[in-house]
Structure 1
Amino acid sequence: GWPLFLSVGVFSAVVNLLMLTGPLFMLQVYDRVLASRSVETLTALFVLVIFLFALMGAIDIIRNRVMQRIAARFQDRMEGRVFDAALREGALRGDESAATAGGMRDLDSVQRLIGSPVMLAFFDLPWAPLFLAAVFMFHPVLGIVATVGGGILVGTTILNRVLTRAPLQGSAQAGAQAQRLADLYRDEGEVIGALGMRGATFARWRLARSESQDNAVRAGDLSAGFSVFSRTFRLFLQSAMLAAGAWLVLRQELTPGAMI
């Protein structure tokens, strides 16, 4: 397992370094190509950029596939233990099938988490301070703009998480209750019909479903608002960085290429 995680770390390092391809290409265009008006230099740089971006994409695909294999191996190693533990818990509760199904669903959720982009974000996270340090090397003003902008984006993500947690939990709980009611009504359908309680049972199930849906919609609205703000602010941050760089060029504190 650990050699695979190490390989993902190496691939992540290469991918993050290759992310500098675009800014470095623009820097070379402004400092070299436009100054020399050399089409040959532009062509050579562009061919190199195509190769580096293709390499970055290929390595990114490889590390995603490695993470999927890590997740699958984790599930293979753990499903026997989870199955036995769920059976023992079910025997204590007197409902082995439900406990087993719940345990395997939890294992599937963990497997999907390991194989998701969230895990790859942990490998990319340590590179953020290095990129900020590189921006500060160009000029402290650019570093401050990038740091403040990054802090706003991180704060937005945390706020999104905090504000959507309650409606998401409410939606999940109401959905689970609706599912339990549906299972109960399915198993006891004849008794419910004989007692003339179909309308009342459907109303209880419908109430739980409506509560789950309302909470899901509320969480979705909040999440969508934060997502739109984050996407818009990232675009604004790029323009703010260019504006700050242009201001520094006008003050003759940067060369035109260094502001890219």
Structure 2
Amino acid sequence: MTQAAGPQPRRGANGTTAALAHLLRRPLAWVALLSVALNVLLLAPTLYMLQVFDRVIPAASGSTLAALLVGASMALLLGLALDVLRARLLGVSGRLAGAVLAPAVTRRLVVQVARPGGQADGQTLRDVAAVQTLFGTGGVAALFDTPWVLIYVGLIAAIDARMGVAAAVFALLMLALAGLSHGLLRRGAQDVQSRAGAATQHLQGAMRVAESLVAMGMVDAMLARWRGLSDAALQPQRALERRAALLAALARLLRQLVQVGMLAVGAWLVISGSGSAGLMIGATVLLGRALAPLEQVVSGWRTLSEGAASWQRLGQLLDGEAAPAAALSLPRPAGRLSAVGLSLRAPTGARMILDEVSLELAAGECLAIVGPSGAGKSSLLRVLAGIWAPDGGQVQLDGASLTQWPEGELGRWLGYLAQDIQLFDGSVADNIARLQVPEAASVIQAARRAGAHEAVLALPEGYDTRVGNGAVSPGQRQRIGLARALYGDPCLVLLDEPNANLDGSGEVSLGEALQALRGQVTVVVVTHRKNLLRLADKILVLEGGRVQHFGARDTVLQALIVPPPAADAGSARVTSLRRPATSPAPGARPR
């Protein structure tokens, strides 16, 4: 199976977000160190001011002033470099958060949707995006600068700081830069949103086929494709982040250069005897620096609070998930299937969907599951596929419990056809190949086994025809879904009403496909049609979540006082099954 790339932190007892916090500790520690160095360098304007008034003005030394001006400017330029580097590190932290959280959350959502009563939660994915983009905002950097406010305020206490023309000029310049930033970043943001929409659309399509993803081990393949679409959106996003970081750094540099320039003008005026700027200019410089992080925190408070709330919600979702136990890879199973004492409660817990269901199949046998609507047939099939975990009992494949198989590996040997078949947005070949790189020979072989090859060739572009979103008929979708279930080398195939949308020729092809599988692949099929019963080696009659009959086909049919179905029985429904003496469980769950 294709494995999703990216950092995969080992989850400990505290969960995924705790592991992510551990991964972020080093880059954020470097951000803290850079913040210390940056704030020390940004004291240069104040030191520059003090030297000007203590040495330059009394000595009337223009050369000393020039040297101080060059030194202060170099310090500010070095501060600019550190500021850009800090922003880059914060951007790396955001991408690291996305690389860890996105696959974990997506996997969690897919499994959650496939469970009884599961629903997709779009807010969770928005939370991942909020956490990832949080690090790219100025609010986080301002948080690292906030402790320095007390130091600056302590220095200002010794100065008579009066705000004047300098504050007005500063505000106007910053407002102009804000307008420029909005214009430069708006177009890039639209491009990022457009590309991210494609990844979101793909993911929404994945949620519609969550059962097949989990049953056939397609989660990793889906994640790999989704990651490719997400990476396509990351390139413009990174450029946008760099542009935003540069503009933010220029804003800080502009504020400092304005104050340095004003101080130089004031000092020159003092030297020329035209007046005295005094300590007012120095106080202005220091006060502007002191207020800058507070202004950023206040302006970005909404983003910071939303990011913190998103982190908390993700922690509640992921940290309660137990880390999967390490498991050794097992050889290809022969297909021997057994279930012992399976029980399954409804999501509300008020009733039993399955109640002490047991069965056993030898490798290569075919089992037909029949029963009235709401008997629990589809639920039993989901438990046998490992989509739903039973509340009691266990399912074994070749003597190994389904939980003993490594995560995602079981699906390689299993084919599953849900009653509600959904296809991904992609080609017919992509869908048959389970979102892996299509191998032409294997794809065509699966289509031939499913009796779908001629039907696929009749499509406008054959196997390259784009499907999904209703692009093909229900019957064509059913045939493609069956080919997907037979793709590769499955030893166990589970089919839920595989002929529900098939016409006469489609049913003939289905019967031929099942006949070809007999003795080679273990098949479990839920059906209401007599023509499929003739292909079964065993029949299980389910009613009210309980097994009423289970055994050889002819034996069960004789027990139900129904003669064995003839080969020409067609698609007549199994309507003559005698109701057994055992009463059905109350409140049987509709499929």
TM-score, length of structure 2 as denominator length: 0.23
1:194-226 per-position Cα deviation (integer Å, ceiling 9, x unaligned): xxxxxxxxxxxxxxxxxxxxxxxxxxxxxxxxx
Question: Is residue 2:148 matched to residue 1:133?
Answer: no
* CA distance, structure 2, for counterparts of residue 49 and residue 93 of structure 1: 65
Deviation of 1:257 (Å):
5.4
* CA distance, structure 2, for counterparts of residue 67 and residue 11 of structure 1: 11
The letter of the residue matching 2:50 is L
1:60-85 per-position Cα deviation (integer Å, ceiling 9, x unaligned): 00000000001111111111211122
Greater RCO, CA 8 A, separation 6+? 1
- Asked if 2 retains the 8 angstrom alpha-carbon contact of 1:15 and 1:56, the reply is yes
* CA distance, structure 1, for counterparts of residue 78 and residue 65 of structure 2: 20
Match of 1:120 among 141, 146, 151: 141
Partner of 1:58: 81
Listed as ranges, the matches of 1:16-35 within 5 Å are 16-35=39-58
Deviation of 1:131 (Å):
1.0
Please, what is the CA RMSD of the aligned residues? 2.9
Deviation of 1:142 (Å):
5.4
* CA distance, structure 1, for counterparts of residue 75 and residue 112 of structure 2: 53
* CA distance, structure 2, for counterparts of residue 37 and residue 61 of structure 1: 37
Deviates more, 1:16-25 or 1:123-132: 16-25
Aligned sequence identity (%): 29
* CA distance, structure 2, for counterparts of residue 94 and residue 73 of structure 1: 29
1:118-159 per-position Cα deviation (integer Å, ceiling 9, x unaligned): 1111101111111111222x25x659x9xxxxxxxxxxxxxx
Listed as ranges, the matches of 1:173-192 within 5 Å are none
- Asked if 2 retains the 8 angstrom alpha-carbon contact of 1:70 and 1:114, the reply is yes
The letter of the residue matching 2:154 is A
- Asked if 1 retains the 8 angstrom alpha-carbon contact of 2:42 and 2:75, the reply is no
Partner of 2:101: 78
Over 3 Å counting, the alpha-carbon distance change for 1:93 and 1:111 in structure 2 is farther
Over 3 Å counting, the alpha-carbon distance change for 1:10 and 1:76 in structure 2 is same
Question: Is residue 2:43 matched to residue 1:37?
Answer: no
Deviation of 1:104 (Å):
2.5
What secondary structure, in the 3-state scheme, does the structure 1 residue paired with 2:65 have? helix
1:35-63 per-position Cα deviation (integer Å, ceiling 9, x unaligned): 21111101111110121011000000000
Question: Is residue 2:113 matched to residue 1:108?
Answer: no
* CA distance, structure 2, for counterparts of residue 76 and residue 88 of structure 1: 19
- Asked if 2 retains the 8 angstrom alpha-carbon contact of 1:16 and 1:124, the reply is yes
* CA distance, structure 2, for counterparts of residue 122 and residue 86 of structure 1: 33
Over 3 Å counting, the alpha-carbon distance change for 1:108 and 1:93 in structure 2 is farther
- Asked if 1 retains the 8 angstrom alpha-carbon contact of 2:34 and 2:82, the reply is yes
* CA distance, structure 1, for counterparts of residue 75 and residue 118 of structure 2: 59
* CA distance, structure 2, for counterparts of residue 54 and residue 81 of structure 1: 41
* CA distance, structure 1, for counterparts of residue 145 and residue 32 of structure 2: 9
* CA distance, structure 2, for counterparts of residue 106 and residue 93 of structure 1: 22
The letter of the residue matching 1:106 is D
Listed as ranges, the matches of 1:88-99 within 5 Å are 88-91=111-114, 95-96=119-120, 99=121
What secondary structure, in the 3-state scheme, does the structure 2 residue paired with 1:86 have? helix
1:9-29 per-position Cα deviation (integer Å, ceiling 9, x unaligned): 010111112222122212222
Partner of 1:68: 91
Q: Which has the larger radius of gyration?
A: 2
* CA distance, structure 1, for counterparts of residue 43 and residue 137 of structure 2: 24
Larger strand proportion, structure 1 or 2?
A: 2
The letter of the residue matching 1:46 is L
Partner of 2:28: 5
The letter of the residue matching 1:121 is A
What secondary structure, in the 3-state scheme, does the structure 2 residue paired with 1:115 have? coil
**Number of residues paired by the alignment?**
148
- Asked if 1 retains the 8 angstrom alpha-carbon contact of 2:91 and 2:135, the reply is yes
Larger helix proportion, structure 1 or 2?
A: 1
The letter of the residue matching 2:80 is G
* CA distance, structure 1, for counterparts of residue 31 and residue 97 of structure 2: 15
Partner of 1:231: none
* CA distance, structure 1, for counterparts of residue 110 and residue 126 of structure 2: 14
Deviation of 1:114 (Å):
2.0
* CA distance, structure 1, for counterparts of residue 67 and residue 132 of structure 2: 44
The letter of the residue matching 1:8 is V
The letter of the residue matching 2:35 is S
- Asked if 2 retains the 8 angstrom alpha-carbon contact of 1:135 and 1:142, the reply is yes
Deviation of 1:32 (Å):
1.7
Partner of 1:228: none
Partner of 1:218: none
- Asked if 2 retains the 8 angstrom alpha-carbon contact of 1:27 and 1:257, the reply is no
* CA distance, structure 1, for counterparts of residue 53 and residue 152 of structure 2: 21
What secondary structure, in the 3-state scheme, does the structure 1 residue paired with 2:37 have? helix
Unpaired runs of at least 5, structure 1 = 146-233, 239-254
Listed as ranges, the matches of 1:138-157 within 5 Å are 138=158
- Asked if 2 retains the 8 angstrom alpha-carbon contact of 1:75 and 1:107, the reply is yes
TM-score, length of structure 1 as denominator length: 0.50
Over 3 Å counting, the alpha-carbon distance change for 1:51 and 1:90 in structure 2 is same
